[in-house]
Chain A
Amino acid sequence: MSIRVENRVAMATVEELKLRVRELENELIKCKQKRCAEENAGGSQKHYRQRIEKMSAEVVDSNPYSRLMALKRMGIVEDYERIRTFSVAVVGVGGVGSVTAEMLTRCGIGKLILFDYDKVELANMNRLFFQPHQAGLSKVEAAEHTLRSINPDVSFETHNYNITTMENFSHFMDRISHGGLEEAKPVDLVLSCVDNFEARMAINTACNELGQIWMESGVSENAVSGHIQLIIPGETACFACAPPLVVAANIDEKTLKREGVCAASLPTTMGVVAGLLVQNVLKYLLGFGSVSHYLGYNAMQDFFPTMSMKANPQCDDHYCRKQQEEYKRKEAERPKQEVVEEEEVQVVHEDNEWGIELVSEVTEEELKAASGPKPDLPEGITVAYTIPEKEVNTPAEEMVEETEQSLEELMAQMKRM
């Protein structure tokens, strides 16, 4: 037993050392960059500008905000300066997230909180924002460095960790609920720019619990479609309310070659999706135009399907259901107003009349047994997969048997095997 314990201690130390090595590597890369920059500058004056206390609408070459403030003069945005009062969390600083952060930085957002656990690699260079000399740096650190030099008026907070693990998730929740421009206030918006289901579900869980409004974004693994989605807990469908909504690619799955690759990516599709996302963010925060609940982008046909979906009363996430009750209560209390006509598509359980399935290599009966009701969705939008309705009991299946053994005994038994 004691050997085990020592082993654990030794493992922890190795982990710590690895972390330290990474820190030092980052330090080294930064030093190199600094020297490089100094050499390039060759004594000429720095290109960094001073912080600007108040946004000016004055149209002069030296005013970085003149073209943004012009939106006010043109009557598009009522009060553009409000942008400086908002704090936005960007989760995932990859192909979409980095461009999203750059756009918000250039727009003069008040505060950005960046989350990512990845580091910049040369394999990322087919996307925008990061540069080859940043390879090896953590994405959040490299991003902060570039963004700060673009606009020093923005305050930045970065977190280099994986939000889906137990050790980081509570900290992540804490930063969402206390990361506002005034500390102890929640952020104004969370943007999901992650590339995997697990991280989206983690953001969804956090935002449902906190009642935090967020926007989801995504690019398909074949790089030719994408989407953005606004999630208002309790009101619009959360990420767990239905199987993931995807833009129908109109590509025959059988002709799609997946051999030897996990994901493709294009700077174009990612740039378009980041643009759609930040446009929706600006409209939402500054109150102009209409804010999209779901906007898809099909790059093959240049088709942009839109829709709106209400929260599912049978959602698996109980905080989502709780938020729905809260929303209903608030709606009932609210004095009746003139309802703005809006097309709402509800999750109606209908037959799978399209018969389109993303799962190939599946036998017919398997498909039949495994496919469930498909929500009624507008043309061009579908679900990644369907889930059969829950059966009350499944007697034919063998469940784990009850035992008297404690968890510790079971762990020990497994270890002896």
Chain B
Amino acid sequence: MADEATRKAVSEIPLLKTNSGPRDKELWVQRLREEYLALIKYVENNKSADNDWFRLESNKEGTRWFGKCWYIHDLLKYEFDMEFDIPVTYPATAPEVAIPELDGKTAKMYRGGKICLTDHFKPLWARNVPKFGLAHLMALGLGPWLAVEIPDLIAKGLIQHKEQQTNS
């Protein structure tokens, strides 16, 4: 499934209780609160483990999410914008995270810069409905993807470090 560090990080993300999607009115608000609680906890955990690597926020309906993720390689920080929509069938199906600026640079992406997750992610997600939320998607989906793809893209010269990022 994943390496030891990822397993540990995932085990420390609180699980969600409410099985509801964006088409359920009040229950969705409850689910969204849980999503934010889990995300806040995960970001706090990352910060205290000195492994802070993403920020996310949503529109007020919680149906469209956007944010930044970054990856440190050779002491340089590479930062990317990410975005995704909550599908109407959430949480039965996980959202498809996209990093539009990397579209066309790697084969491990679908159209529009949607990252191509491993074979293991979907069964794992399906087995953990509705307990897994967006924080789990970050930890088990986007995180491992960045760890594999970004060093590769740097090595191939397909992404260059933006100078201003060193100061941020």
Point out residues on A near B: beta carbons under 8 Å.
118, 121, 162, 164-166, 169, 196-198, 201-202, 204-205, 240, 243, 258, 260-262, 316, 358-363, 366, 370, 372, 384-388, 397-401, 403, 405-407, 410-411, 413-415, 417
B168 to chain A, nearest CB (A): 15
CB proximity of B46 to chain A, nearest CB, Å: 10
- Which of chain A's residues have a CB closer than 8 A to the CB of B33? 403, 405-407, 410
* B37–A400 CB distance below 8 A: yes
Kindly state the separation between the CA atoms of A406 and B36 in the bound complex, as whole angstroms: 10
Q: Given the known inter-chain contacts A166-B23, A415-B57, please indicate yes or no for A410 contacting B126, CB distance below 8 A.
A: no
Min C-beta distance of B15 to chain A, whole Å: 5
Asked if B22 and A410 sit within 8 Å, CB to CB, the answer is no
Q: List 21 A-B contacts (CB under 8 A).
A: A164-B88, A166-B61, A166-B88, A201-B89, A240-B92, A243-B126, A262-B107, A316-B129, A359-B119, A359-B123, A370-B123, A387-B127, A388-B127, A397-B15, A398-B14, A400-B41, A401-B14, A410-B33, A410-B37, A413-B40, A414-B57
Establish whether residues A407 and B40, one from each chain, have CB atoms under 8 Å apart when the complex forms. Answer: no
With A399-B131, A407-B32 known, 19 other A-B pairs at CB within 8 A are: A165-B85, A165-B88, A166-B88, A205-B88, A316-B92, A316-B129, A359-B119, A362-B1, A363-B1, A372-B127, A385-B123, A398-B15, A400-B34, A400-B41, A405-B33, A410-B37, A414-B57, A417-B43, A417-B55
Knowing A240-B92, A362-B1, A405-B33, say if A262 contacts B108 (CB, 8 Å). Answer: yes
User: With a CB–CB cut-off of 8 A, which chain A residues contact B34?
Assistant: 400
A403 to B33: give the CA distance in the assembly, Å: 9
Closest to A388 in B: B127
Question: In this complex, what residue of A is CB-closest to B2?
Answer: A361
Interface of A is mostly: loop
CA distance A360 to B62 in the complex (A): 34
Identify which of A164, A258, A372, A386 gathers the most chain B CB atoms within 10 Å of its CB: A164
Contact A201 B38 (CB under 8 A): no
Chain B interface residue bracket vs A: 35 or more
Contact of B87 with A407 in the complex, beta carbons under 8 Å: no
**Which residues of A lie under 8 Å from residue B43 when comparing CB positions?**
414, 417
Instruction: Evaluate contact between A399 and B119: CB separation under 8 angstroms.
Output: no
Asked if B36 and A407 sit within 8 Å, CB to CB, the answer is yes
Contact A411 to B119, CB < 8 A, known contacts A164-B85, A398-B15, A399-B16: no
Measured in the bound complex, the distance between the Cα atoms of B135 and A400 in whole Å is 12
Q: State the Cβ distance, B58 to closest chain A Cβ, in Å.
A: 7
**In the bound complex, do residue A358 and residue B109 qualify as a contact, i.e. CB atoms below 8 Å apart?**
no
Residues of A within 8 A of B37 (CB): 400-401, 403, 410
Partner of A414, one of B22, B36, B109: B36
Give, as a whole number of angstroms, the nearest-CB distance from A125 to chain B.
15
CB nearest to A405 among chain B residues: B33
Cβ contact within 8 Å between A262 and B1: no
**Once the chains bind, are A202 and B57 in contact (CB under 8 Å)?**
no
The residue among B1, B44, B96, B119 with the most chain A CB atoms within 10 A of its own CB is B119
- Closest CB in chain B relative to A223 CB, distance in Å: 15
B116 at the interface (CB under 8 A from A): yes
Residues in chain B near residue A370, CB distance under 8 A: 123-124, 127
Decide yes or no whether B56 CB sits under 8 A from chain A.
yes
Which among B15, B22, B36 is the interface contact of A411 at CB below 8 angstroms? B36
A198 engages B63 (CB within 8 Å): no
A145 to chain B, nearest CB (A): 21
Q: Flag B54-88 by CB within 8 Å of A: 1 or 0 each.
A: 01111011110000000000000000000001111
B residues near A360, Cβ cutoff 8 Å: 119
The answer to whether the Cβ of B29 comes within 8 Å of any Cβ in the partner chain is yes
Contacts of A397 in B (CB 8 A): 15, 131
Interface status of B105 (Cβ within 8 A of chain A)? no
User: Counting CB contacts under 8 A, is B162 at the interface?
Assistant: no
Is B51 interfacial (CB 8 A cutoff)? no
With both beta carbons as reference points, the residue of chain B lying nearest to A256 in the complex is identified as: B119
B39 near A: Cβ within 8 Å?
yes
Q: Write the nearest CB–CB distance from B55 to chain A, whole angstroms.
A: 7
Q: Is the CB of A400 within 8 A of B119?
A: no
| Chain B residue at minimal CB-CB distance from A385 | B123
Instruction: Using A201-B93, A366-B1, A407-B33 as known contacts, say yes or no to A118 and B111 having CB atoms under 8 A apart.
Output: yes
Q: Which residues of B lie under 8 Å from residue A169 when comparing CB positions?
A: 23, 88
Residues in chain B near residue A165, CB distance under 8 A:
63, 85, 87-88
**Complex CA–CA separation, A197 to B107 (angstroms):** 19
| B120 interfacial contact with A, CB 8 Å | yes
The reply to whether A399 and B17 form a contact with Cβ atoms under 8 Å apart is yes
Return B151 CB to nearest CB of chain A, in Å: 14
Which of the residues B29, B60, B88, B93 comes within 8 Å of A197, measured between beta carbons? B93
* CB closest chain-B residue, reference A11: B66
Would B14 and A399 count as touching, CB distance under 8 A? yes
